[in-house]
Amino acid sequence: MKKLICILSMTALCLALAVSCKKDPPKENTIIWPPDPPVEDVENYLKAAIISLRNVFFIGPAFHDFGHIMSLQLAGDLMTEDMAMMDNDWFYFDYEIDNNQTNYRRPLNSWRMMYTVVYEVNGAIGAISPKTTDPELQNILGQCLALRAFSYHILIQRFQQTYLGNEHKPGIPLLLTELDSLRDGEEGVSNYCRNTVEKVYKRIETDLLRAMDYLTAARISKDYINKAVAQGFLARVYMCMHKWDKAEQLAREARSAFPIMPIHEAGGEYGYNDENNSEWMWGSRTTPENCMYYVSFQSHIVSECSSAGYAALGSYKAMDNRLYSQMNPTDVRRNLHFMDIPNEKFYNTKFKCVENFLMDNIYMRSSEMLLIEAEAQAQQGKNSQAATTLMELMSKRDYAYSTTNASVDDIFLQKRLECWGEGVIFYDYRRLKKEVDRTYVTPFNNHLEKIKLSGTNWKFIYQIPQQEILNNSCITDADNNPADGDAIF
């Protein structure tokens, strides 16, 4: 028997999966699939799916700079040049782009959170037959497959350079189930070593394609994943893989039922706070029962609020002034940022105060999907078509904006402006290998940390956590990522 490696023992995530010696996988038509679970077990699997969803945005208030997925996403935004931090407070090590080493909390907590989600959803994935025809079980299975893929995509982007040029580089462990093995043969066996980037992406793609087969548009609320969200996940994945035509199609389909918010909402009301907004595709409703108070995203991002979190107490997060200066005077998004250059006071008003820290958390919007669609078109040389797509957004942001030929850089700029603070743009910086340059002189530079790094510097990539290396005999110190320096492709 192959030795079972205890991965992530520090978070009690050892899977009870016995991995057999290599043998030829059985043929599809010889497999006896397990029956659907008894009706009384369905509720338990639904609870497991809910737990995994909650774990995406909540792992506990052990540290005030890491409580949920938006903590990780905010850390990413602060590692670009687009967000300036106005005080030395929580997240400042991320802002310094100096929080990636093997013994630091950020890599450990990021690893722990996403593998916790994998562990939770594998409970349902390993129990529900892929052949089930029960609609409720299909829905649970689809959500869990999508969440596993989402978790692996976050991990592979955080713990290795981007896909293109690194397909055969070491990625992350893949924790799977016996039913994955039955369906996929050898490809479905858990591997606790660093699987290649290509293999990780193949698993992500497989999970999402299956999830889309099981899911529909129906769901209880936007807290849950439906087919459109799974399509959005896969559009993000295909952008990394440079499968432009597939990304274009999926992004278009994903956003089709979520109209772009009107100009007045985008320019000053509650468009970025409320899950009920027309273009929110996936988010989490904050209630008194799940509110995280000072650990919450609201605490760290909302600048003006009587429910004073860290940002309102002076740890402001502001748009980079050079980025701000590229908006037209007629762009309503200028209203979402306060720039007092003479007094050197900067903060954002994009995210509005909701008393008692009850601001909803945003995970995916149709504007992001539109911008993916437009970039994918531009990447294929369809620049006039990309301009038409881009204008669908810009007509609701800037009545004076006009373009008939949109380049990849044009769309990247608008994505930086549109998705600022939402945890999206860090991954585009990495995917497009964009440098971070906070050393400019003109216009006025509002960054406290003046940093310039190439887009492939290892400081943007986390090292495998030391606790994982200590507890996983399949990964050694020699297998770890560099801590600094430019990557060689």
Give 453-472 pLDDT, tens digit per residue: 999 999 999 999 999 999 99
Residue 375 forms part of a structural domain: yes
* Length of the chain counted residue by residue: 489
Give the largest Cα separation in the chain, rounded.
Answer: 75
User: Is 406 within 8 Å of 390 (Cβ atoms)?
Assistant: yes
What is the average per-residue pLDDT within 67-72? 90
- Please give the tally of structural domains in the chain: 1
Q: What is the pLDDT of residue 73?
A: 96
Cβ burial 68-98 (10 Å sphere, 16+ → b, else e)? bbbbbbbbbbbbbbbbbbbeebbbbbbbbbb
Task: Return all residues near 363 (Cβ < 8 A) that are at least 6 apart.
Answer: 57, 69, 281, 282, 283, 284
How many Å apart are CA 81 and CA 21, to the nearest integer?
49
Place of tokens 């938006």: 70
Residue 139 sits at φ, ψ, to 5 deg, of -65, -45
How many Å apart are CA 129 and CA 45, to the nearest integer?
12
Structure-token pair, residue 441:
């002189």
Residue 281 forms part of a structural domain: no
Q: Which of 30-34, 171-175, 243-247, 443-447 has the lowest mean pLDDT?
A: 30-34
Q: Which helix (H) or strand (E) holds 117?
A: helix 105-125
Structure-token pair, residue 406:
């949109």
What is the average per-residue pLDDT within 43-53? 75
Q: What is the pLDDT of residue 27?
A: 41
What is the average per-residue pLDDT within 131-136? 92
Grade residue 61 by pLDDT with cuts at 50, 70 and 90: low
Short-list 287, 293, 297, 151, CA closest to 225: 151
Q: What is the pLDDT of residue 52?
A: 75
Residue 486 forms part of a structural domain: no
Per residue in 317-326, pLDDT (tens digit) is 999 999 999 9
Residue 35 forms part of a structural domain: no
Residue 119 forms part of a structural domain: yes
Residue 336 forms part of a structural domain: no
Residue 67 forms part of a structural domain: yes
Grade residue 17 by pLDDT with cuts at 50, 70 and 90: very low
| pTM attached to this predicted model | 0.92
Short-list 23, 84, 65, CA closest to 420: 84
Q: Which of 18-27, 60-69, 165-174, 405-414 has the lowest mean pLDDT?
A: 18-27
What is the extent of the structural domain holding 393? Answer: 47-265+365-476
Residue 391 forms part of a structural domain: yes
Q: What is the pLDDT of residue 58?
A: 66
User: Is 153 within 8 Å of 235 (Cβ atoms)?
Assistant: no
Helix (H, G, I), strand (E, B) or coil at 331: strand
How many Å apart are CA 311 and CA 91, to the nearest integer?
11
How many Å apart are CA 137 and CA 141, to the nearest integer?
6
Helix (H, G, I), strand (E, B) or coil at 447: coil
Helix (H, G, I), strand (E, B) or coil at 66: strand
How many Å apart are CA 279 and CA 393, to the nearest integer?
11
CATH number at residue 101: 1.25.40.390
